[in-house]
Amino acid sequence: MNKISNGERSTENERYNGSTKAIEIKNLNEYFTNLTSKGIAEQYNSLKFGPSKSTEIGKKAENKMKNRYMDLLPYDDTRVILKNHPKENSEVSDYINANYIDGYKKAKAYISTQGPLERTIIDFWHMIWQEKACKIIMAANIIEDCKKKCEKYWPDTTASYGDITITLQSEKCYLDYTIRNFLLHHKDGTSRHIRQYHFTAWPDHGVPLYPLSLVMLLKAAKKYQPFCEAPLVLHCSAGVGRSGTVMLLDAAIDMAENEGYVDIVSMLAKMRQSRSNLVETVEQFTFVYRALVDYFCGEVTQKSCDEFQTYYNLKESESSKTLLKQQFERLKALISVETSSLSVQSRFYFKAPNSLTGETAHNSDNCKQELNHFYVNGHGKRNAYIVIQYPKVECIHEFWQLAYDVESRIIIVFGHANSQENKYPTYWPESNTLHQGNLKIDYITSELNFGVLIHTFNLRNSVEPQTSRVIKQCHILDWDESEDWPPPKNTIINLFNALETSLKGKPVLIVYKNNPCCAGFICASWIIYRQVIEDRLVDVFTAVRTIRRNQPSFINSLESYQKLYDLASSIVNENNSKL
């Protein structure tokens, strides 16, 4: 394929006219904007759909039960052939519903396979080991639309599949995907590591709302074991629609970054010679275009710490403040669409048994009404925070029961610990021990640091004394939640630094009086902090998108959004000074 010069181009002749054309990346946005839905459909329909080569091996009697869908079988000439299969399997054959697919200037860059069935899990892991694969991309959820799309083929801890024992070493859950790290140990004594990228944001029908989330997943996957020459294993349910879309996008990004132009029509035509029906719908085909436009022609908000400062300084200029406003408006529009079909407040009401509290039914009803809380996701962890309204006197037991049940080690409270009649009672012990049913809260110590008053307690249950734990309650004294504005940036950063060793992977309780938006700012700030500490990345856009998935009222002004950028800059500067 020859690169097309600018002189050979015009907006008109770039439109699809029945022949394949490469599009320069600098012209991609204009091209896609001018490309009508009819034009995209013409491109897509010009490609052959359905099997065009022999699939006889998949039709054999001993192999039929290993196919999820009998009308989606692997081509015989590109299929993955299993070798030295474990003999304990009574259905032994060299067959698995999988094909090698060429990528950009790389033969067998991918293996596209169906989501494993219960009877093919051993085959799947045998293929992973045989091909020396180090990465898996899963583009489906186990259950979708009340139907099983894929068997859960990995363990929660450790399990053996044929000759291979697999141990889950870690799991990090982000807004749109989950990353799992596994250790594979073969019976011959050798071991390997493999990482699974599970994209969870693909809806039952259609395509992901935010294309850049898939692009970012692909970029993250490229950074993991970058010199591994083994094929990238992809699967969804059938291993053709979503898997084909991910492969096509990945290869197109490679082509664009290396050549400066892209030709997804020719690329898909070539891929379909290895496995039929890759990219099953026009919508999936259009999604690839849209993802390329967003990545190469739009604004990518995720930045490395090294490049963030330049990006931040640009945002500070007058001309760029308009861009920040546009980013915030895009964020609001995206969240509005994402949450329209969700129960956005994952809200629960706790009601303790009367036998523990001795309260009347009337007071229990008050607790049910007032002690409400909702979970908020964090960086790499679901339900990292619990945002909860300040408890009334009659609900103090329920508050501590919640802290005990979720094993929280941290409580954040805004403003001075003042009591206004029964409205904001002192629900913690200021000395000695507070008794709440079976729970006992022992006062240990108090200290004032960097504008934060930290009380340390021991929380224990008289019925289960072995479960006692230390819990810290942090009053951010100079943060008046009625003003919406955070305290000095150093106060927040120093607080996060001080609490690092106390989290223990458990939810943080964030208590607000009247305005939950302060809790939203803390949640978003903590996500940004963890981005920098764990991944050396900054993405304020994604941090806010994450918390607003649970509560759309969080970070509801451009000023608050700007202050998160200011805080991110301070976090990066402090972290850089430690390196």
Find the helix packing angle between 489-499 and 517-530, rounded to 10°. 60
- In the block, tokens 């001018």 appear at 34
DSSP state of 138: E
Nearest to 370 by CA among 345, 350, 355: 350
DSSP state of 506: P
Q: How far apart, in Å, do the first and last CA atoms of the chain sit? A: 46
**Is 236 in the active site?**
yes
Neighbours of 503 (CB within 10 A): 17
Q: For residues 563 and 517, is the Cβ–Cβ distance under 8 A? A: no
CA dist., res. 50 & res. 41, Å (int): 17
Nearest to 254 by CA among 282, 222, 231: 222
Q: What would the 3-class secondary structure string for 521-573 be? A: HHHHHHHHHHHHHHHCEECHHHHHHHHHHHCCCCCCCHHHHHHHHHHHHHHHH
For 65, 290, 416, the CA distances from 274, given in Å and listed in that order, are 22, 25, 66
Q: Is 468 helix (H, G, I), strand (E, B) or coil?
A: coil
Which one of 236, 305, 474, 523 is the catalytic residue? 236
CA dist., res. 571 & res. 565, Å (int): 10
Q: What would the 3-class secondary structure string for 2-37 be? A: CCCCHHHCCHHHHCCCCCCCCEEHHHHHHHHHHCCH
Say which residues have a Cβ less than 8 Å from residue 10's Cβ, sequence separation at least 6: none
Q: For residues 474 and 454, is the Cβ–Cβ distance under 8 A? A: yes
Residue 459 backbone dihedrals phi, psi, to 5 degrees: -105, 125
Q: Is 201 helix (H, G, I), strand (E, B) or coil?
A: coil
Burial of 20 (0-12, 13-18, 19+ CB in 10 A): middle
Nearest to 463 by CA among 486, 438, 426: 438
Q: For residues 252 and 293, is the Cβ–Cβ distance under 8 A? A: no
Task: Write the DSSP assignment of 310-354 as a string of letters.
Answer: HHHHHHHSHHHHHHHHHHHHHHHHHHHHHHTTS--S-EEE----H
Find the helix packing angle between 241-259 and 264-271, rounded to 10°. 130
Residue 317 backbone dihedrals phi, psi, to 5 degrees: -70, 155
CA dist., res. 362 & res. 548, Å (int): 34
Give the helix/strand (H/E) hosting 221.
helix 211-223
Task: Write the DSSP assignment of 83-113 as a string of letters.
Answer: -S--TT-TT--S--SEEEEEETTEEEEEEEE
CA dist., res. 28 & res. 256, Å (int): 10
Residues annotated as catalytic (active site), given as ranges: 236
